[in-house]
Amino acid sequence: MWRLNEKSNGASREESVAAASRKRSVGRDESKETSRKGEVGRSRKQAGRSRKENGRSREEVDTAMKRGMLLVALILAAGLARGADNLKINPHLDYSDHNKKQGPLITGDNMDDGVVKGKPNYIYFYMEKCYNAKRQARITVHQYDRYRDFVHFVIIDLDQPVNDVQKALINKYCFKVIPHTTLLDKDGTVVLDYTGETDEPTMAGWVDYIVRTAQGEEQAGSSKPGSQGGQTGQSGQAGQNGSAGQPGSSEPAGDGAKGQDN
């Protein structure tokens, strides 16, 4: 009996050891599984953070690209909107009352530019043979010499090919009746839309007016040139074949109808 019990007790101990070993093995396996799951979780979190960081990086890159493109567009727009510059009057013009073609009346740079917003615009339309246009061209160059830093000048020779931008200005303001001068304030509103030849002080008064309103020194619509007794003229625009002596007035002044091509 003793030996049998001893064998039985030995078997029990072996079984206990085996069971304990299995438990330890299972515990290690469970620990490994838990560790693996933890690593997978950490990997997923890291992947999520990485995706978020990549997303932010892409957004930052996209934003930077958009800003860069906007800056380039603004620079190009500024370059394209320089306006007519270095204006010179044709030195060979005959200003007498005779129509004869003597080439472009005004020469300069950027002569195919259109108008801009945010700055006053002086638009001059002419044909080369008109003696009224020649005299008004001389006045226009004088205004350029004085106001070039404050006013955007657009010069359109109707005897030369024009681009689509200037063609639109012709259709909008000129209708091929010349000489014609259109002044726009900094918001693009017409201040003077005049067909004919003016005297120089009158035109200088109108240009000075759009400069002062653009700089906030004077409210638009107040104390316009050509007003009488401090009162603003009736229309504020000379219009087609308006008065050369009194822009903004309904009263003609002398030969104010000279503006058509004779």
Tens digit of each residue's pLDDT (9 = 90 or more) over 104-144: 999 999 999 999 999 999 999 999 999 999 999 999 999 99
Q: Is the pLDDT of residue 97 over 60?
A: yes
At 175, phi and psi to the nearest 5? 60, 25
Question: Which residues have C-beta within 8 Å of that of residue 116, sequence separation ≥ 6?
Answer: 81, 83, 152
Q: Residue 95 has what pLDDT? A: 94
Distance CA 120, CA 213 (A): 9
At 216, phi and psi to the nearest 5? 80, 10
Query: How far is CA 239 from each of CA 30, 140, 235, 246, 259, rounded to the nearest angstrom?
Result: 95, 18, 9, 12, 11
AA letter at 6: E
Q: Which of 176, 205, 178 is nearest to 192 (CA)?
A: 205
Contact 119, 152 (CB under 8 A): yes
Q: Residue 181 has what pLDDT? A: 98
Give the mean model confidence (pLDDT) for residues 10-33.
64
Mean pLDDT of the chain: 76
Q: How confident is the model at residue 42 (pLDDT cuts 50, 70, 90)?
A: confident
Is the C-alpha dihedral spanning 100, 169, 171, 204 positive or negative? negative
Strands 152-157, 121-126: pairing is: parallel
Q: What does the CA dihedral 183, 208, 238, 145 come to, rounded to 10 degrees?
A: -60
Q: Which of 260, 230, 261, 234 is nearest to 247 (CA)?
A: 234
Is the C-alpha dihedral spanning 32, 33, 37, 40 positive or negative? positive
Q: How confident is the model at residue 223 (pLDDT cuts 50, 70, 90)?
A: low
Judged on CB neighbours under 10 Å (0-12, 13-18, 19+), 48 is exposed
